[in-house]
Structure 1
Amino acid sequence: MDSIKFLPARDAVLNGRDAIISELRSLVPSGSLVHEMRELVPFETDAFVSYKQLPLAVVLPEDTAQVAAVLKFCHRNSIPVVPRGAGTSLCGGAIPQRDAVVICLSKMNAIIDVDYANRAAVVQAGVTNLGISERVGSDGFFYAPDPSSQLACTIGGNIGMNSGGAHCLKYGVTTNNLLGVKMVLIDGTVVDLGGMHLDAAGYDLLGLVCGSEGQLGIVTEATVRLIAKPEGCKPVLFGFETSQQAGSCVSAIIGSGIIPVAIEFMDRQAIEICEAFAGAGYPLDVGALLIIEVEGSGPEMDGLLSRIIEIARENSVKIVRESQSATEAALIWKGRKSAFGATGRIADYICMDGTVPLSKLPYVLTKTTEIVDRFGLRVANVFHAGDGNMHPLILFNANDPDDAARAEEAGNEILKLCVDVGGCLTGEHGVGIEKRELMTHQFSAEELSQQMAIRAAFDSEWLLNPSKVFPLEGRSA
């Protein structure tokens, strides 16, 4: 592995490995410590598989007290710590380093309380995103954020990356659906931020924690907002000759004041890949596809769709196909949510996560294709078009170092393009390792210094997830 990807390992930690493991064994129950090399392999990377590194050890605590005990020990002995949920991070946010103890919260998977009077649920950090909706669904409620990995990804990881999903256009991302957290600081102190009430007193520390990528503390419990299910919902397929036409349609819909539940975009490459995998009935004779979902009563949905279809026709729509049953609606979403996995069946890929102003979508789509073509690669565009959160999938051969290098360079150019048109480096995946060195393209030295000062106020030794988010050079620690 390229050594520039991580801070130098601490020799004192590596040399004291046996003593560290012995102490960790005393802090957690039997079966909650992983330290044999062969058993550490599943924890060496996350969904951003370009980089791998075995950690020093992995702890799987069962409650907040155990997390606090481990952090207190690591802080006292200057041992780096990497928090981990399900390992679905697409930016390398959960990749360890060889002198780090990984704290994996997968055993903390209980739903502690469901309070319909306050429309909230209290859950441990290892509960899956989809698990919340499954628990409350029969009572007519759901948890709104729905990343494509929601079957596996956990609430703790969602909070770390401020994850979104297809329905974030209407319901917002994690920060808009998070009411409170229980969090353990690096020295073992346990703090509660927010709660069942809608607005906590004092500084908005909860807003600071959500999206902090596990660098301010480790969230062990979360209080999340529950939303009543709509009376009905309907996804509709809109096919266009070109990606530019589809992009213009998205901008026109939002500009008209209409906010559907979701607007998802797929270009020809993505359509073909997803249709071959899911058999969702996507049209194959179009250059781009929009999945637009509306919800409400029957008349309400009909009224919204009538206006959306009118706008689509003004933007040269070729095909309009409404779902006619719950089964057909589920298939439409299965195709979209399978995009990443379906692409992985045919090629290695890097998934970008830049966000751009909606008015710039047509321009950025054109430039993205030009960038990838220039590097001799292919791209499949699939993303949350309603909020401009782009996910170009750059296809390459991971066994060819030159191919991999070109893919990474193309991805960096695309992310810089997003910033240059007024957007940002990440919409929901986080910075992690992938975008760390690009932070200087979006932020000035003074802005980065201020962010690092806030981070250091929580963790002055930079022990929590230390090689992530901020460029390695020019750090305050």
Structure 2
Amino acid sequence: MSGLMMPKPDAATLERRDEIVRALSAIVPGEGVISGETEMRPYESDGLTAYRQLPFVVVLPETVDQVSRVLRYCYENDVKVVPRGAGTSLSGGALPLADGVLMSMMKFNQVLEIDFANRAVVVQPGVTNLGITRAVEHEGFYYAPDPSSQIACSIGGNIAENSGGVHSLKYGLTTNNVLGLEVVLITGEVIRMGGKHLDSEGYDMLALMTGSEGLLGVVTEVTVRILRKPETARALLVGFASSEDGGQCVADVIAAGIIPGGMEMMDKPAIHAAEAFVNAGYPLDAEALLIVELDGPEAEVDHLLERVEEIARANKSTYLRVSTSEEERNTFWAGRKAAFPAVGRISPDYYCMDGTIPRKALPRVLARMRELSEHYGLAVANVFHAGDGNLHPLILYDANVPGELEKAEDFGSDILRLCVEVGGVLTGEHGVGVEKRDLMPEMFNEVDLAQQMRVKCAFDEKQLLNPGKVFPQLRRCAELGRMHIHKGKLPFPDIPRF
């Protein structure tokens, strides 16, 4: 992960640039094509800001027909395409290509249908995650997956990365809350999968598309499941003298058969940063802080709160506070959801990792991360979706100090290897993108990767959709039988870092 290679345009492609821009402008007229260097700068990076790459050209379609015609043109003329939502990706999944069209879907920003009877909403992919809840909350409904970036991230991007959030423990990830998709293939064909019904006949193409990181098609319409707001929701703040005690409390709560609506954990650096940013009332002397939310009928919530308090005390909790109002509950969560920007106030730069582990391994992993922090000489602030084992260590560094970014990347790689070592996976919700691309052989052997690439080939035989992402070495479809994956770092120095 210490470098990154994205293909540079060859001479023939550069010579064709004006021709490609003209062709795209004919399909998406007016201000639908951006080709000036200055105007394209906002698209040169996504949320993984360690790298930047100016796009070849940017196109902003407004209709499904335009998406279809653009993709068909690119297919017929062997032009690469990178689909992009709001650009909040944290794995480089929306990083542009110097020789490919960047297709922004943010003009697809309409709520198309609200069907309370079937508890479904049909939206375009540029609608924000929070925008779905805003559209239905007047009737007491909401959309459950809630990434920390929900005010900005698009539902199309959530589909690409299979995003989660603080309430995914009980209510699932994006894949558990999506009912239907309209997708345009690289050939320009428009297909539909799923719908408002709860299950579909045939292969589960919906699950295949969710989390496919823009490698299989471009989503132009999404049908999601909405839920009735719980009768009661209360949150509990629990402080601990060590992260290990907090981690054990998480494991014991789940082992007791209690599934909270959300269960999040922060360590001391994250607690202090969030408290200074939001003033949520967090205990500053705690080494670890759990936020546990119970929801449902009031009697059930009251009973479960008592059970969780008992488990917390058995794990040597040093602080307990239960929300007494909806405003106080929201304040508890405000600090957690602002943890990422809050940490940005205590360090010039930070590198946000994303891995998932079995809950029982949390104490061991936390102890090992402290050792790695000392080894690399870089501090780390930990923010976890603790209930489902999804870790978000924030490695603190200064990009202006020579070598610190490389150390942060190596530190991050070791954390992800540790996740796999204890029985976890490389990503929980941020995707593979380019960040974890060269670590895929840590988890998958050559046969596994070949099978995944064959799925890619079934949708995109020319490998034009978002190439350079997910797979460490993508072979031509005809060569998969003799594919070789190089395990280790690849020297990819050609993209300048911030």
| Paired-residue identity, % | 53
- Mapping of 1:19-418 within 5 angstroms? 19-347=19-347, 348-418=349-419
Q: Secondary structure at the match of 2:471?
A: coil
Instruction: Tell me if structure 2 keeps the 8 A contact 1:7–1:472.
Output: no
Distance 1:475 1:211 in 2: 22
Distance 2:12 2:80 in 1: 12
Residue identity in the other structure for 1:158? N
Residue identity in the other structure for 1:164? G
Residue identity in the other structure for 1:357? P
Measured against aligned partners, the alpha-carbon deviations of 1:89-109 in whole angstroms (never above 9, x if no partner) come to: 000010101011011011100
Following superposition, the deviation at residue 7 of structure 1 comes to 3.5
Distance 2:276 2:264 in 1: 18
In structure 2, the residue matched to 1:447 is 448
Following superposition, the deviation at residue 200 of structure 1 comes to 1.0
Distance 2:346 2:31 in 1: 38
Distance verdict in 2 for CA 1:475–1:149, change over 3 Å? farther
Distance 2:184 2:401 in 1: 42
Distance verdict in 2 for CA 1:386–1:3, change over 3 Å? closer
Distance 2:390 2:15 in 1: 44
Following superposition, the deviation at residue 16 of structure 1 comes to 0.6
- Could you list the runs of 4 or more consecutive aligned residues of structure 1 that deviate by over 6 angstroms after TM superposition? none
Distance 2:357 2:166 in 1: 16
Distance 1:137 1:201 in 2: 32
Instruction: Tell me if structure 2 keeps the 8 A contact 1:124–1:220.
Output: yes
Q: Secondary structure at the match of 2:206?
A: helix
Distance 1:475 1:441 in 2: 22
Instruction: Tell me if structure 2 keeps the 8 A contact 1:272–1:284.
Output: yes
In structure 1, the residue matched to 2:484 is none
Distance 2:99 2:71 in 1: 15
Does 1:425 find its partner at 2:426?
yes
Q: Secondary structure at the match of 1:295?
A: strand
Distance 2:110 2:459 in 1: 27
Instruction: Tell me if structure 2 keeps the 8 A contact 1:175–1:210.
Output: yes
- Cα-Cα RMSD: 1.3
Instruction: Tell me if structure 2 keeps the 8 A contact 1:5–1:433.
Output: no
Following superposition, the deviation at residue 11 of structure 1 comes to 3.6
Q: Secondary structure at the match of 2:320?
A: strand
Structure with the larger RCO, 1 or 2 (CA within 8 Å, 6+ apart): 2
Residue identity in the other structure for 1:451? Q
Q: Secondary structure at the match of 2:336?
A: helix
Instruction: Tell me if structure 1 keeps the 8 A contact 2:4–2:434.
Output: no
Following superposition, the deviation at residue 232 of structure 1 comes to 1.5
Distance 2:277 2:462 in 1: 47
Measured against aligned partners, the alpha-carbon deviations of 1:314-362 in whole angstroms (never above 9, x if no partner) come to: 1111111011222211111110000111111222111111000000000
Measured against aligned partners, the alpha-carbon deviations of 1:297-318 in whole angstroms (never above 9, x if no partner) come to: 2211110111111111111111
Distance 1:7 1:201 in 2: 40
Instruction: Tell me if structure 1 keeps the 8 A contact 2:8–2:98.
Output: no
Unaligned runs of 5+ in 1: none
In structure 2, the residue matched to 1:16 is 16
Residue identity in the other structure for 1:268? K
Q: Secondary structure at the match of 2:374?
A: helix
Distance 1:333 1:239 in 2: 15
Instruction: Tell me if structure 2 keeps the 8 A contact 1:389–1:427.
Output: yes
Instruction: Tell me if structure 2 keeps the 8 A contact 1:59–1:102.
Output: yes
Following superposition, the deviation at residue 240 of structure 1 comes to 0.2
Distance verdict in 2 for CA 1:282–1:4, change over 3 Å? closer
Distance verdict in 2 for CA 1:80–1:10, change over 3 Å? farther
Instruction: Tell me if structure 2 keeps the 8 A contact 1:93–1:431.
Output: yes
Q: Secondary structure at the match of 2:134?
A: helix
Distance 2:332 2:154 in 1: 24
Following superposition, the deviation at residue 80 of structure 1 comes to 0.6
Deviates more, 1:127-136 or 1:29-38: 29-38
Residue identity in the other structure for 1:450? Q
Residue identity in the other structure for 2:45? T
Residue identity in the other structure for 2:222? A
Following superposition, the deviation at residue 4 of structure 1 comes to 4.3
Measured against aligned partners, the alpha-carbon deviations of 1:343-390 in whole angstroms (never above 9, x if no partner) come to: 112221111110000000000011011112110000000010000000
Distance 2:475 2:422 in 1: 26
Following superposition, the deviation at residue 29 of structure 1 comes to 2.9
Instruction: Tell me if structure 1 keeps the 8 A contact 2:53–2:98.
Output: yes
Distance 1:265 1:4 in 2: 32
